[in-house]
Structure 1
Amino acid sequence: MAGACIAASVAILVSYSTFATYRTHGYVNGRVSEMVQQQVKQNLQNRADAEARFIKSELDMAFDAARTTANSFEQMAAPGAGGTAAGGRRAQFNAVLRNVLEHNPSFNGTYSAWEPNGLDGNDGPYQNAAAMGSDATGRFLPYWTRGAGGKIAIQPLVEYDSSARHPNGLVKGAWYINPHNTHRENLLGPLPYIVQGKQVYLATMSVPIMINGVFHGVAGADYNLDFLQTLASQVSKSLYDGKSTVAVINDSGLIVADSANPEAIGGAAAKANPAWASSAQVIAAGKSVVVDDPKSENLQVYAPIKIGRVDTSWAVLISVPRAMVMADAALLSDQLGQRSTVDTMLQVLISLGIAAIAIAMTWRMAATVTSPISRCAEFADGIAQEKLNQQLAIAQDDEVGTLAEALRKMQNDLRVNLEHREQDQARTQLVVDTVSRSLERLAEGDLTTQINEEFSAEYANVKRHFNAAVSSLREIISAVDDSSKTINIGAGEINQASSDLASRTETGAARLEQTALAMNSVTAIVRQTAENAAQARTAITSTDRQAAEGGAIVHNAVMAMGEIERSSEQISQIISLIDGIAFQTNLLALNAGVEAARAGDAGKGFAVVASEVRSLAMRSAEAAQDIKNLINVSSQQVSQGVTLVGETGTALEHIIEQISQLRETIDEIASSAEVQATNLAQINTAVGEMERMTQQNAAMVEESTAAARSLGDQARTLESAVGRFNLGNGSHGSFGMGKRYAA
């Protein structure tokens, strides 16, 4: 009986042990399969998100370049002093588009399309001017493209107003029609297009050009989508020995890239692969999604690509065979199952004699298997919660030990990546803060500011270009300051010379009045002609000498006015140089914005700084234009003064001739009293003319004095404007510039 009880006990224990072993195996197998599957899904999702971010950064760079170009065109075509003259806009805008294309090798083309007469109101003369980017309508439609050999060429845009559709359903002219109707940015692709005789698939990014709230056209950039196909193939090869499929699909469900079937590019995803029939709905949601349909042989992972400021998004799709995903889990499950079977057989064979030991071994094995797996699961959950300082003390030479080592390596890699990201952010923040402070001092008029902080190698050009630009601006403002002082001194000398000339003219007028009185006396006492003629001869001789001196003074005044006019022309040349530098600074800011866009999220702050630099350059151009206008007005007034003084000299020559005639007449009076009596009336008339011309000379001298005084005031105004800047010579202008930024 006891033996039967022992046998029954052993049988019960063995049965329970066998049941417990299989139950434990099932639990462990399920947990491991679930953990591995979740980890694989997370890894695939992370990989898809990473590739989506990379694609976004590449295409955003084109969007940023198009947006910066559109903003620049809005400023340059805006009415007022800050815009570019209408006659030079086409050439200047073409230069900007070509410059953007040359500095962005990844771009396939840059373009701009304007409404009829929307650029300069003068489309007529440019009909069929393909070299300027115009078609038969004369509209400004330049399309700058880069061929396979790197050759850059221009051609007019076509199908910009076409509502017809490509074979894949995309509207041919949507890149222009949509911004025209919505006033929003537009993304179109994959778009089949013929560029320099070769068909390529492009993504085109277009940005509306709005001037005073009115649509005038678009500016855009084309990006060749071949890089997406290359990227999809590379990612596919790196996943599961190339057994995965990587695709990029747009918001309409069209294939942009497909590692497994490149010929499907441009077609519908649902047609290329029935398993992708719901891709358009998934992409429209704009979220990262893992589609795990038990009826499907593949596991599908979607990561959204939000590009620019458009309302739609594209997506990266990674499709992996379910059998490949679960291969490691199945292998581990088989290994655990084999071990469980062997252990169960050993337990059955030896449990008849050592039931207690068998029971203990059963429980021990269960604890050995489940406890490390549970600890690994807790460790993986901690990693998912970004707890990257955990410890996993499992060191076993089996599958569980391999799993633990993989989890520890994953945690260490994530921690290192996080540290590198924080270091990159710190370096970028240093550059942004330093440039912001320097620009704030520059906005306050301090032209001695320089960036002395050490930047990392990738930002060294920012420091060098900023310091060079400030140095050039300081030299130019110094030259303008010196020229304004020289003009001020010259204006003072002219004012003094004009005052002296006015005094001498008044003296000449008084003497002419005395001469008139003397001639009246001669009329009254004709019989005393000889004596009066002698006195008149003396007076006329003196008047002749003074008139000659007046002529010499007027000649000197003409020479001085000419020097002032030449100085004004030199100042105009200097102002033109400042205007040119402002334009170059504007282009430099544009290129800096494009380079910042290429840097992605790390360059957004610097893109704002580049925009502010471009705004400052445009305000400098406006100030230079105002100064140039003042100099032009001053030059016109100086030219008028030169003309008036020249007329004064001519009038004095006439006076000298009249005086000579009068002297001859007096000689004749001395020799013949009768002839003197006959000519007295003529002499009185001549003297009246001389007095009138002398009064006119006095008025002209007053006008010359006023013009010289006005030139001096304008020179002082220019000197005061330049005095606003600190040029590093130990002095500051009397007017300070208000701060544009908070300290």
Structure 2
Amino acid sequence: MSVLNTISRQLTLAAFALMLLMAASIYAVMAWRGQPQVIEASQSLVDRAGESIVNAMNAQLARVEGNTASLASLAESLPREESLFRQAFPRLVDDSGNAAIAGGGIWPEPDAFEEGVERFSFFWARNADGEIEFLDDYNADDIAPYHDEAWYQNARDADPGQCIWSTAYRDATTGVAMVTCSVPYYLDDEFAGVATIDMQLEGIAEFLTENGDTTGGYAFVLDRAGKVIHFPGADLATDNMQGLADLTSEMPWLSPVVEAVESGRQNVQVETAGVLDKPASVRLFDMQDTGWTLGLMTPQEEVTGLARTLTRDLMVVILPLLALLLVLGWWGGRILLRQIHSTTEQIDQLGQGGSSRELKIYRNDEIGELRSAVNRYAEKLRHLFDDVSQVSDAIASEATDIASGNAELSSRTEQQAASLQETSSTMEEMATTVKRNADNANEADQRVTETTEKVRRGGEQVARLAQSMEAINESSGEVSSIVDVIENIAFQTNILALNASVEAARAGEHGRGFAVVASEVRELASRSATSARNINDLIKTTSQQIETGSGYARDAEAAMQEIVSAIEEIAQRIAEISQASGEQTHGIDEINRAVSQMDTVTQQNAGLVSQASGAANELSVQAQRLKSLLDDFQRDNQRSPDAIPLSGPQ
């Protein structure tokens, strides 16, 4: 029963842990995946709502920009006549009674409308009755020239047809908050003035009040200088237009929004949202055409509330289902454990009653299959015991034969060990002889190497001798050439002496002394020529002998080279013999080690054979013991009573 309680407790704890794990997993999935996606979808709705408001405001502003551009175009095309201007422009300024239009007109440059006139503006304003009326106040000399106003100066640098929106301001006369669209116009490609339309901010405030609550909050607008055009709950009834930063003194919670506007961030969270009095998310939109900024204030609960609601509803549905599954699993586990406990008791009875007992089958489900499997196992166990009994007899017989064979194997192993020892001694003697041969071959190789070196040096000396004789032969040729030159000089001298004698004979008595000298010169030249011929003959004879000696030296050099080649070949053969002897020595050493290993292994085999013989004897004893145990078990089965009914189905 303790096992049942333990498994039941484990199943209960596992089911409870599974329920907690599933609940935690569902909550984690919703928190990490579901809620961010729902929040992202909510933020996407906020983005679309803000873009829709921006587009609607841009449409209204574009209408004003178009009307202002029409005023500028008309001012460029109309003749400069005051009556025509007063008739043509009021309808465009009125824009079919559009209450958002506070006024508008044409503001020419000095001397541009009429020569010599500095101020000649045409301005129409909407009166208290909503009608457009002409005002000539801005042409008075007692006020500042309109040419110096910022809206006028900013339009000077604009492209033709481009609207330059002024910052928000409050009209000094009417006190109405407004913005001005200024478009330049040109005459003969020169700047001639500015066309303007003033738009009341009250219309923008009404539009945002009606459409800014689409996300459950409100909308506000700032101009390009950061001045507040519309902000619910803020006191804007002052002479000067306030900036968003000016409102933080009364609304400190706006500080994060001011920082976001200044840094260019689009999303910011605030702890309270003024008139909403609850945490909110602020989304800022840039209006590219005007440079304005639209802010959409959305309660935080509108962004994250749907995600939390979905998570709560999902947990409300899932948790009861998980609890029901837990109860059903626990109940089914208890039923299964009771059935397993019943089968366990019957298996215990089977073990106590011997292998002849069988389990009763009351069911056709998995429990019945389990009992059938136990019965099949018991039947196989009975056959196994019979087979083991037969095998134990065979093992006992074979163990006796193994012990006898091991004794004979031990004797043969000892003989093999003795033979290996004799072989090892013979291999050691052979190794000594081969090593001595290798040493002799190494010594002979050294002697041959020395002889080869000496013969090579002798060959080099013979080669140098042949080179010296060749050099002497070349020098003899040069000397022969010099002797030929001397012989030629002697011949020329003899000719000159002969000519001198002829000239001396012609001179008569005066040339007699010179004739004697010429005769002596001829004698010397003749003797020099004779000596030169003798030297030349000796040199030729010497050259022939040197050539013969050079041939002998070359033959000797060739013979020395052949001797060196033969000695090197002998040295190579001796080196091969030495290497072969070394390899034989190494091989014999390997054989010696192998024989030693074989001897060691043989000794180990002898020990193993002895151990195997002991193991065979022990195996025979254990086989007899196993046979005795099987006989006792079978006798117990024969003494056990017949199978009795076991516990019924549970």
TM-score (norm 1): 0.39
TM-score (norm 2): 0.44
